[in-house]
Chain A
Amino acid sequence: MMASTVSTYQTETGWQRFRKDRMAVWSGCFLVVVALLCALSPWISPYPYMAQNLEASAMGPSASHWLGTDLLGRDVLSRLLQGGAISLFVGFIATAVALFVGIIYGVLAAEIGGRTEDGLMRIVDIVSTLPLTLIVILATVLFGQNMPMIFLAVGGVSWLTMARIIRNQTRELKGSQFVQAAVALGQSRLGIFRYHYLPNLAGTIAVCATLTVPGVMLLEAFVSFLGLGVKAPMTSWGLMIKEGADIMEECPWLLISPSVVFALTLLSLNFLGDGLRDAFDPRSSKR
């Protein structure tokens, strides 16, 4: 810790640089807290998230219900935690899907090279001009609005940027001397992928993943907001925002609390991603 104050920029490790970025650190802490609270919601939330209590319906924030209750008398705080668990879960799983597809596609394209590579990247270009939001909506509606479909649909359209970045990085690595040395020594392609590509791509992958999660969560919330995603009695932040918007005249607290939490989470994810990028990927420009 103390050493970092005298060390020069080059000898600092990524973590030391990251720790100096106070916004990113605070965002990271906030995210950990939110994620923990949401993950533990079945045990810590004050009420079961679907428990109705019609006598206490549509009440503003009070001591017994910190964030108020909705029209069916369900506790907003409990629903917020449950909805957050769903939203974050979708965000992470769909990002994992996108990472998986993107890494394999990008590395393969760069490894094969030549015309095939051009063709593969052209496909990425073409697919990214398509109206993907429409396709996600269609896919989620058509194949039943169940969770695995939402993961696949959202993840399936989020891999494009990933594939492009990974391919560019891999191409650069492929031309580097240590990879050529490994090839000359007869290391297998899988070995090169495992021991040379993956470790060198790790920073980029981490940054990409952090910046993909908010996009994915946004997409899920968007679909749920239109009433085409997560279905009642389950809930997600997008769905809660929709329910709140429908009756904001009478019960504004139903709109405000999920909106604020959702926006803060996305903001933190963006700060964290920017911080990670500046710390671990100093070559990329800051903007």
Chain B
Amino acid sequence: MRYVFKRLIEMVPVMLIVVTATFFLAHAVPGGPFDKERPLPAEVKARLEEYYGLDRPIYVQWWNYVSRLAQGDLGPSLKYPGWTVNEVIGSRIPVSISLGLVALLLAILIGVPVGVLAAVRPNSWLDRVPMGFSLIGICVPSFVLGPLFALVFSLGLGWVPPCGWGSAIHFILPACTLGLITAAPLARLTRGSMMEVRSLDYIRTAYAKGVPPLRVWFVHALRNALLPVITYLGPAAAALVSGSFVVESLFDVPGLGRLFVSAIINRDVTLILGTTIIYAVALLVLNLLADLTNAALNPRIARAR
């Protein structure tokens, strides 16, 4: 419990760095949010800048932002008048979270069993074929796999709609794209750590006791082999995030990833900041969860701290 607390405390300076770096990056943008093709009258622009506090010195703006952030307020959006960033982001988060969770679940359900089976019979077809595919999966990025899936399954075979959002069928393509991309490294990782565990004494003991092989693989061996895999879930979540930028733009999913990309294109400073902060928090929390799960599964790690 003290460990969790310590880790949470550690997250504060990290977040402050992220916020500050993003803040100054975002304010260094050449071209403000009110620069349009038709220039606004100078008075209107001055009023707008005054309203949003953009006329004050940058360190004052920074302080205002950070102190409001501490209360959980991400400020008003510059491009969606009348909306706060909290509202804009809040309306997008459920979409991205549900998509991300389905993809992660898919990745685990495919990646881990494939890795286990490959390690059980190394160098057989059960190993070579899936591992070949997973190598391809690592090298084929989401922005190649996504369009190819759309080309084959919706334009070629007509099984699913190419884009859109709203019903379960729209989940299939984006979730599969994200899930398979994540499953590939997961399968290789599982195989690698299973290979290390499989020759240990306690596995041989389990066989000798007459435990059924499936139980040995998926219960005895996997329990230990899973540790590096769980550690990888932190980076995997990060990969899912960047994958979601592509997949959401590609399949027209109204999620956080597409919001971030359009915020950058629109130079909506507060929205850029808000999305970056949400992502940073999500990634830090996921890393923490992965570490905690590892500590719970492996008492040696917990004691080392």
Interface residues in chain A, defined as those with a beta carbon under 8 Å from any beta carbon in chain B = 126, 129-135, 137-139, 141-144, 214, 218, 221-222, 225-228, 238, 241-242, 244-245, 248-249, 252, 255, 259, 262-263, 266-267, 270, 285, 287
Contact = CB atoms under 8 A, between A and B. Distances in A.
Interface size band for B = 35 or more
A226 B261 contact: yes
Nearest to A245: B147
B88 interface: no
A222 B150 CA distance: 18
A242 B191 CA distance: 34
Q: Chain A binding site: helix, strand, loop or mixed by DSSP?
A: helix
Interface string B221-252: 00000000000001000100110011001100
A129 B287 contact: yes
A285 B188 CA distance: 14
Interface string B259-281: 01100110000001000100110
28 contacts: A129-B283, A129-B284, A129-B287, A130-B14, A130-B18, A130-B280, A130-B283, A131-B276, A133-B245, A134-B260, A134-B276, A135-B22, A138-B272, A141-B29, A142-B29, A143-B28, A222-B242, A226-B246, A238-B143, A241-B143, A245-B150, A248-B155, A249-B155, A262-B141, A270-B135, A270-B138, A287-B191, A287-B195
Q: Chain B binding site: helix, strand, loop or mixed by DSSP?
A: helix
Contact of A263 (B14, B144, B188, B260): B144
Contacts of B234: 129
A129 B276 CA distance: 13
Contacts, number: 113
B139 A131 contact: no
Nearest to B14: A126
A143 B28 CA distance: 8
B280 A252 contact: no
Contact of B143 (A130, A133, A228, A245): A245
Contact of A267 (B139, B150, B238, B242): B139
